[in-house]
Structure formats: C-alpha cells, structure tokens
C-alpha cells in the first residue's frame, strides 16, 4: 500500500509538490499573521489586567472551538478558496500565541521588574530589556503549539477548497483509495512532528542561557 | 540631604495608613536606619523616596528639590536601590546585572567592565569566577551581595537599601557591614537603610528612626536611643542589654590608656585598635583576665584596656546624657 502511494507520488511529482507548497504556504502565512497580531496584543494586554481578562477568556473559548468548526463558520462568510482557509488558520493560531504572550509577560518575576524600575529604567526599557527576554521562552512555546495546530489544521483547508495535502485525503476518501489518502496523511503527520521539533529547538535557542534548565 | 515632611501613605482600600505623618531629616552624607516590627512601613517609606509608591500626603525633599516635581527615571538613576527580595535579572550574567545603571547612563564599555570587577571585589566575590555566572548559579547570600554591588555600581549619591544583608550568614554579614562602612567613609553617601536587626542598626546608623504602625516613635543617634529610649516600646525593642550595646558604639582606641606603656599590668592577650569595647569586654571575660593590650594593624602595642575601665565607662554612661 505504501508502495502504491510511493508509486503515485513518483508518477505525479508536480501534483504532490504543489499540494505541499500550498500546505506550507497556508500554515506558514497563517502562523506568521497570527504571531504578528497576537504577540503584541498579548503584551499589550499584560499591561491592563482588566482588558486582559476579557480577551484571554475569549481566546480560551476560541481555543476550544474545533478547527473544522472554524472552517465551517468561515464558509458562509468568506466563501471557499485560499483566502478563507488562511483566515481560518490564522484564527486557529491566535489563541495559544495570545495566551502565552500574556502569561509570559505576567509571570516575569515582579521583584526583577521592581528593581529594574527602581534603578531608573523607563517602561519601554523594562519591557525590552527585562520582560520580553524573560518571557521569550513562554511566548515561543505558544508559537510552537500554534504551529503544530496550524500544520495539522491546514489539512481541513481541503474541505473549503483551500488546497494543500488535505486534498489527497479528501479525494482518497471519496475514491476509496487508501494509497492516495496515505499520500496526504503521512506527510502531514511528518510535517507536524517536524514542526514540533523545529520549534522546540527554536524555543531553546531563544531561552536565555541563565534560564535554561539542565545547563549550569 | 533627604527631608521627609508629614509623609503619609494610605493604600487604597486600607483603613489605617501604612506610613503616618512621618517627618525626619537625613543630613547629607549620613546613614539613617529605619527599624521597626514587620509591617511598620519601612519598605513603603523607602519606595516613596524613589517614587515607586506615590505618597498620599506630605513632602519629600532630596538635595533641596521636591521629589514630586522631578522626572522619576532621572531621580532613580541617582539613587542606588537594593530591594528586599534582591530582584536580580535571571537572564543576565552577574556582570550584566551589575552593569545595569552604568549602561543606562551610557558609560563607555571599558569603564563599565572595570567597574563591574571593582564592585565584585568590593563585595568579596572573585570577578574571574562570578562575572559570567547567572543569578541562579549563586547562593542566596551571594545574590544579595550582587544586589548591593548592582546598586552601588553607578556611584549614586543616595542609597536606599531594604534589608540588604538579611539573607547572609553572620560572618559574611559582619564583613559586608564593615566593607560598606568603609565605602561610606571613602565616598560620603546619604543612605536610608532598612533593617530588622538592632545590632545592625546601631552599627550602620548615624541616626536611627524607630517606626511603629507607620509612625515615628524615636529618631536619634544610636547612643541617644540606647541611653534614653523614648518609651517602653523602644526600650523593649532595643533589648535589655542596652548597656552592653552601647559598648559596641565605642572602639578600644577611643578609651584605651596609653600611660601603661612602660609596665603593662600583666602579660596579656591583644586586641586590634578598631575593635569595639563590647568585643574587648567579651574577650576579657572569655580569657578570665583583667586587661587586653591594644595593638595596631602591624601588631605594635598602643595601650591597654582594663575591665575596671570598662566598668567605669558603663557606670559613667548609664546616666542620662545631658
Ligand atoms: N501595595 C500595597 N497595597 C496595600 N497594602 C500594602 C502595600 N504595600 C504594603 N502594604 C501594607 O502597608 C504596611 C506597611 O508595609 P511595608 O512593606 O512598608 O512594611 P515593612 O516595614 O517593610 O515590613 P517588613 O519588615 O515585613 O518588610 C503593611 O501593613 C502592608 O500590609
Ligand atoms: Mg519591608
């Protein structure tokens, strides 16, 4: 069966490559847009606990909505194709990034912040020199969670005509062709694992040396 | 000079003020120790001076200028601040931590590096070993020393220190206290120093302010407070061994007799000239002796202190100071 999938892949290299590129483009741009929006928003929210309560609760609810439901909701609003898929994936990626950016800043040792302010750092300097670097590991953990979710979630783009590797799965099911289905499923699984590993390394690289566990 | 005038802080939602009509003056170049039971408002007072806490009422004047009119950032860069919980930056090396203020005010890199090493040496930590370490690789006492070094690094004219030697063993604490006193002798700074420890207050303070429930109970020199406690609270707070504590305020050099040079009463143990009379008494009692030879750093004989002399001193001093 794997061989059949392999054979199909070899006979349709362009089809596979296009699907892969679409999948990665969707996931990558969805994640990037989400990070660009949610990291600053999370940091901003950490400065105002009251607004944060609202936003974080909303994000938490957003987190529990299944990916497929997000896509389904997009359908009547934006129709089908690449753009609605991108919007849906962005929405999918925002909650974990937002929550971690908020939590990351909030959990910075208040004594470190107090001594920074007490020594004459401006609010901006405290953010840039203390809070952000200390929160960076937590923020990037949020991005990692979102990345894995998005890579897996991009599969569902196939349902609203967004393309990507999910196409193989949907047509595999429709045509009762298991090899075709595998051609989508296996790369997606590998992509998810690869994303997890890649972002894990990134997270470690972004963790300041003095805060890494297991190094002393 | 730091002058607090009717300084009051009522935290929102609190019935009683944390600091209540506090007025006191710390002359330039002097150390004022704030002491009192937990929750009496010491930290709050300190934080009002560098404007981490905005007063509810009253005035703070530093160097002739009302603090409320000043840019808080500029104000804080001229005030070394050691917070009670140390608050080192976990993601920065010890050197980077200490370099905080020099970097903020833009010293050249070479001067900063030299200053970091100087500060580490000052607090008794080998720069070569500790420079590149991170806070979590240090013991609690070492972290506290880095906190003090960091506050001193920018050479601020004013130091605000909130229990800076709290988590340090007695020996290191004694050494740091001495080091700090030496620094203050070399470069006069106006210091507000918070402690729980009466002995530390007596040792470090030119003046001691005793607080209770946010109010100033007594303000005076260590000797005044030990000799004439304002009320039963102060009396209890400074301890029943007041007479003994007062002996810690005098060095043997100040009281030794030099007329016994030719014929010391008896061969006896020696004590350095900068030891306190309290230490001398303790040494005499421990040796079951009568007297001690006072020597200088090179071990040269300078004079003697005797048990009789110390007794006379206590007798003479227990009278109220006119
Ligand atoms: N941010 C705050 N909000 C409300 N109350 C506060 C705040 N900070 C301090 N307090 C209260 O003000 C009083 C004085 O507190 P402060 O921290 O100045 O005491 P302290 O003398 O430094 O005590 P300690 O010796 O335990 O450090 C306490 O009753 C405390 O509970
Ligand atoms: Mg305190």
Which residue's alpha carbon is at the smallest distance from atom 11 of ligand 1?
Answer: B18
Angstrom distances, CA of residue A161 to CA of A19, A185, A205, B221: 12, 17, 37, 84
Contact B104 A208 (CB under 8 A): no
Instruction: Answer for the pair B28, B187: CB distance below 8 angstroms, yes or no.
Output: no
Are B67 and B75 contacting, i.e. CB atoms less than 8 angstroms apart? yes
Residue A136 pLDDT exceeds 90: yes
For residue A208, list chain B residues with Cβ-Cβ distance below 8 A: 90-92
Antiparallel, parallel or unpaired: β B2-9 and B158-162: unpaired
CATH classification of B2-240, choosing from 3.40.50.720, 1.10.10.10, 3.40.190.10, 3.40.50.300? 3.40.50.300
Query: What kind of architecture, by CATH, is found in domain B246-316?
Result: Alpha-Beta Complex (3.90)
* Top-level class of domain A2-207: mainly alpha
Per-residue exposure over A143-159, b if at least 16 CB sit within 10 Å of its own CB, e if not: bbbbbbbbbbbbbbbbb
**Among A113, A118, A130, beta carbon nearest to B76:** A118
**B158: closest chain A residue by CA:** A119
Tens of pLDDT, residue by residue over B178-208, are 888 988 888 889 999 999 899 999 999 999 9
Q: What pLDDT, on the 0 to 100 scale, is given for residue B321?
A: 44
pLDDT at B164: 92
Q: What is the pLDDT of residue A114?
A: 95
Report the percent of chain A where pLDDT is more than 90: 47
- C-alpha A83/C-alpha A71 separation (Å) is 11
Contact B52 A211 (CB under 8 A): no
For chain B, which ranges sit under pLDDT 70? Answer: 260-267, 317-322
Task: Give SS3 for A122.
Answer: coil
pLDDT of residue B322: 38
pLDDT digits (tens, 9 = 90+) for A2-28: 788 888 888 888 888 999 999 999 999
The alpha-carbon gap from A72 to the nearest alpha carbon of chain B, in Å, equals 44
Question: CB A121 to CB B73 under 8 A?
Answer: yes
Identify all chain B residues contacting A115, using CB atoms and an 8 Å cutoff: 81, 83, 86-89, 147, 150
Q: Is the pTM of this model over 0.90?
A: no
Burial readout B274-306 (b: 16 or more C-beta within 10 A, e: otherwise): ebbbbbbbebbeeeeeebbbbbeeeeeebbbbb
B31: nearest Cα among B151, B206, B218, B201: B206
Say yes or no for a CB contact (<8 Å) between A119 and B101. yes
Hey, where are the domains in chain A? 2-207
Nearest to B81 by CA among B199, B216, B194: B194
Q: Which two tokens stand for residue B120?
A: 């580490």
Confirm if B165 and B198 have CB atoms less than 8 A apart: no
Map out the domains of chain B as residue ranges.
2-240, 246-316
Q: What is the pLDDT of residue B320?
A: 45
3-state secondary structure at position A174? helix
Instruction: List residues of A whose CB lies inside 8 A of any B CB.
Output: 109, 111-122, 125, 130, 133-134, 208-211, 216
| Of A118, A121, A125, Cβ closest to residue B50 | A118
Q: Looking at this predicted complex, what is its ipTM?
A: 0.84
Return the percentage of chain A with pLDDT > 70, whole number: 99
Pocket test for ligand 1, best of B41, B195, B209 (most atoms within 8 A of CB): B41
Q: Using the mean position of ligand 2's atoms as its centre, give its distance from the Cα of residue B249 in Å.
A: 26
Q: Residues B247, B276: contact at Cβ < 8 Å?
A: yes
**B154 C-alpha to ligand 1 centroid (Å):** 28
User: What pLDDT digit, counting tens, does each position of B207-228 carry?
Assistant: 999 999 999 999 999 999 998 9
Taking the mean position of all CA atoms in its chain, how far away is CA A28? 8
Q: Is B128 an 8 Å CB contact of chain A?
A: no
pLDDT of residue B257: 86
Contact assessment for residue A127 and residue A197, using Cβ atoms and an 8 Å cutoff: no
Strands B57-62 and B2-9: antiparallel
Ligand 1 atom 18: residue of nearest CA: B41
pLDDT of residue A216: 40
If contacts are CB pairs under 8 Å, which of residues 51-110 in chain B contact chain A? 52, 73-77, 81, 83, 85-93, 100-101, 104
């Amino acid at each position: 069966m794997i061989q059949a999938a392999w054979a199909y892949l070899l006979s349709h290299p362009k089809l596979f490559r296009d699907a892969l590129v679409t999948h990665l483009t969707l996931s990558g741009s969805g994640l990037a847009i989400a990070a660009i929006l949610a990291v600053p928003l999370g940091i901003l929210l950490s400065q105002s606990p009251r607004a944060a309560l609202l936003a974080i609760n909303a994000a938490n609810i957003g987190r529990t909505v299944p990916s497929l439901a997000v896509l389904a909701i997009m359908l009547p609003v934006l129709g089908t194709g690449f753009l609605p898929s991108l919007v849906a994936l962005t929405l999918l990626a925002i909650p974990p990034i937002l929550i971690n950016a908020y939590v990351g800043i909030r959990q910075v040792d208040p004594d470190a912040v107090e001594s920074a302010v007490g020594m004459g750092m401006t609010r901006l300097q405290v953010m840039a020199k203390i809070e952000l670097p200390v929160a960076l590991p937590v923020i990037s953990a949020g991005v990692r969670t979102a990345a894995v979710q998005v890579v897996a979630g991009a599969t569902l783009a196939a349902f609203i005509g967004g393309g990507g590797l999910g196409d193989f799965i949907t047509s595999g099911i429709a045509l009762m062709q298991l090899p075709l289905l595998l051609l989508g499923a296996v790369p997606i699984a590998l992509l998810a694992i690869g994303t997890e590993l890649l972002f894990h390394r990134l997270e470690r690289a972004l963790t300041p040396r003095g805060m890494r566990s297991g190094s002393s | 000079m730091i002058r607090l005038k009717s300084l009051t802080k009522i935290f929102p939602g609190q019935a009683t003020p944390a600091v209540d009509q506090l007025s006191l003056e710390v002359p330039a170049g002097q150390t004022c120790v704030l002491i009192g039971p937990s929750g009496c408002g010491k930290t709050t007072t300190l934080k009002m001076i560098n404007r981490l806490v905005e007063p509810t009422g009253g005035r703070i004047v530093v160097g002739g200028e009302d603090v409320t009119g000043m840019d808080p950032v500029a104000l804080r860069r001229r005030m070394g601040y050691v917070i009670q919980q140390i608050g080192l930056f976990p993601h920065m090396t010890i050197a980077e931590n200490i370099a905080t203020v020099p970097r903020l005010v833009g010293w050249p890199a070479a001067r900063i590096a030299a200053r970091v090493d100087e500060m580490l040496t000052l607090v008794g930590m080998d720069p070569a070993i500790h420079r590149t370490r991170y806070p979590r690789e240090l013991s609690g006492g070492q972290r506290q020393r880095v906190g003090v070094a960091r506050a001193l690094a920018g050479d601020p004219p004013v130091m605000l220190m909130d229990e800076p030697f709290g988590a340090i063993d007695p020996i290191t604490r004694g050494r740091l206290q001495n080091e700090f006193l030496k620094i203050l002798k070399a470069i006069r700074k106006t210091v507000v120093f918070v402690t729980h420890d009466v002995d530390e207050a007596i040792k470090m303070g030119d003046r001691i302010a005793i607080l209770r429930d946010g109010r100033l109970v007594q303000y005076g020199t260590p000797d005044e407070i030990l000799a004439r406690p304002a009320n039963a609270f102060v009396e209890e707070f400074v301890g029943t061994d007041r007479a003994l504590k007062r002996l810690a305020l005098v060095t043997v050099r100040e009281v030794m007799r030099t007329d016994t040079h030719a014929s010391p009463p008896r061969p006896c143990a020696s004590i350095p000239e900068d030891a306190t009379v309290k230490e001398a008494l303790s040494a005499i009692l421990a040796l079951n002796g009568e007297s001690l030879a006072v020597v200088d750093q090179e071990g040269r004989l300078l004079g003697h202190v005797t048990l009789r002399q110390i007794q006379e001193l206590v007798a003479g001093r227990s009278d109220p100071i006119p």
